[in-house]
Chain A
Amino acid sequence: MIPADITNENRYLGELVPKICRYAGLGGLALLVASVVLGWAGEAGWERLLRSYLVAFFFVLSLSLGGLFFVLLQHLTRAGWSVVVRRIAEGLADNLKWLWIPFIPILVAVWTGHLYDWADPSRLSDAERALFQHKEPFLTPWFWTIRAAVYFGVWAWLARFFVNRSVQQDATGDPQATARMQSVAAPGMILYAFTQTFAAVDWIMTLEFAWYSTMFGVYFFAASTCGAFAAMIIIFYLLQRSGRLTNVITTEHYHDLGKLLFAFGVVFWAYIAYSQYMLIWYANIQEETIWFVIRQLGGWKTMSIFLILGHFAGPFLILISRYPKRWKGVLAIGAAWMLGVHFIDLYWLVMPAIPAELIQSVTTYSQLVTEFEASYLPEYDLHWRVLDLTCLLGVLGVFVAMAAWSMRNRSLVPERDPRLDESLAFENY
């Protein structure tokens, strides 16, 4: 097979940029306004709006972080095959430069004592206070804000470093840029691992401050790679449908992205999720198991089983074979499915709340189940709201528009990367 000649290809988003910005960006902003109105006027209320917003924010954050991970990984391993797909991952990671802006509502929520129980310790019961005592120095709004600033600082710096050098290389063709990125990739990966882990702990795990899992950072990492690889497959599919990079991205590249999605998003995710579950289930410590107990009640139970089947078993059986990964349409549908279940996974992490009074009033598991179903079901059960959808589509719309805007003058492939030819000629064996 003769590798594609990139000069014959449509390598720019071009006239799509204003279109995407208009529809996705303005539509997204409109949906965000609608969400605020729904939160203000609807029965769900501000707390619910904040939680929905947190899920939506984490959804786009996971795409960006997954993209950054991909870029770091390719430089770290000096990968040749991935050069032609790297620019899209850079586009996802590039959004980390401004993602601190949509984080501001969460920051405001913490400083005004919302969303997180620890944000307003005066509301805690005596029993909760006893559990909170040891964590209080870590979970103060000040320290929490400083940490958040560090995470966003590190991410923005990493994204800036890798994206700018890669884009500059399009003009200069300087191979030293690649060498420099490779040498920064290793410490960059360590920084990424720490910030990503602590961010997941700070922003999702502390929703239930008494609960902890040492696996949680890895869990969010696995989830974010699932989102990013699925998003990349969909983006390439859509780009090729619109006549861009038609010969540059081949079946071979889809095959490898499919392998990564299978390995990280399906198998690794399940491995981590199960490891987390099994240790907590086995140790059987009350403040740990309650996090899973609440996810085994009412509608949450259905959702948990759905995640096992829809995020692991089904995709595992389909994606394990070589053929679906080499069949663009099927892989794109599979990726869209994975992106959907990734959202449900985040929803499942953030949404279920543990009614504190319930835990104090019961002594056995069967009592807890009966009591929950008798009196707490209407408030604490799984309820989808329009808010969830408007928040997600709103934030995602803005995210997509910003990604497209950042790509307005950039080629969709790293045009003068020293390994470009290797990537164009890449084949799987």
Chain B
Amino acid sequence: MNDSSTTAAPTDRPGAAPPAIPREPGEVIGKLYGLLAEFETPAAIMVAAHRVREAGYKWWDCHTPFPVHGLDKAMGIRPTILPWLVMGAGLTGAVTGVVLQWYTNATNFDAWLIVPITGYDFLVSGKPMWSLPANIPVIFELTVLFSAIGCVAMMLFLSKLPWLYHPCLKNERFRRATDDRFFIVIEARDPLFYRRKSQEFLKSLGATAVEALEA
């Protein structure tokens, strides 16, 4: 193996691609993304996640084939602020519904909303021009619409989605994350990350395998 001339002889022909170098599983050639540790049971990953958290790592995540109850708590994940954002979106929808109907049905003054617009007070079946019962359905629907769209959009934003590519997906072993294996990934950008030390640490947690991930 030490003799490179026998294993991977460079070709003389100009422009030819160098032959593929056989790589060990988990061997990193490019930039290091982090370390992937494999566990066999939900119980094992629960204990491991708790220990990783206690060790003080910040940039790390778990990948499991199904939701493991209690894992969020073991990882110390804080509650999301998404509900508050959705409430803001819902209130925006409600206010939009009120203003929209009030302006278009119960006033007649000119305004400017990108283009010139004008209110049009319109009498419907003898009801008052501005009458809340008639307007509640639209207010309700706009509240729901704004909340729903806002919820999905802000969930994507907070999760930094969509990602076109994730370093884990290059790894052969990681494919079993959708089947029967549980993974912890500690990223290289974590201030506590040291290649060897972190690898030893993950092994000590009972990982059946620890591999490096290429960015």
Contact = CB atoms under 8 A, between A and B. Distances in A.
Secondary structure call for the B interface: loop
A278 B126 CA distance: 15
A278 B69 contact: no
B136 A427 contact: no
A429 B66 CA distance: 13
Contacts of B127: 282
Contacts of A284: 125-126
Contacts of A425: 69
A278 B67 contact: no
B134 A429 contact: no
A301 to B, nearest CB: 15
A425 B70 CA distance: 11
B72 interface: yes
Interface residues of B, number: 11
Interface in A298-323: none
A256 to B, nearest CB: 14
A101 interface: no
Given A284-B125, A429-B67, A278 B133 contact: yes
A1 interface: yes
Interface in B64-95: 67, 69-70, 72
B213 to A, nearest CB: 28
B70 A278 contact: no
Contact of B72 (A278, A281, A429): A429
A278 B125 contact: no
A235 B72 CA distance: 32
A203 interface: no
Nearest to A275: B137
Nearest to A279: B133
Interface of B: 67, 69-70, 72, 125-127, 133-134, 136-137
Interface of A: 1, 274, 277-278, 281-282, 284, 425, 427, 429
20 contacts: A1-B70, A274-B136, A277-B133, A278-B133, A278-B134, A278-B136, A278-B137, A281-B133, A282-B125, A282-B127, A282-B133, A282-B134, A284-B125, A284-B126, A425-B69, A427-B69, A427-B70, A429-B67, A429-B69, A429-B72
Given A278-B136, A284-B125, A429-B67, 11 more contacts: A1-B70, A274-B136, A278-B133, A278-B134, A278-B137, A282-B133, A425-B69, A427-B69, A427-B70, A429-B69, A429-B72
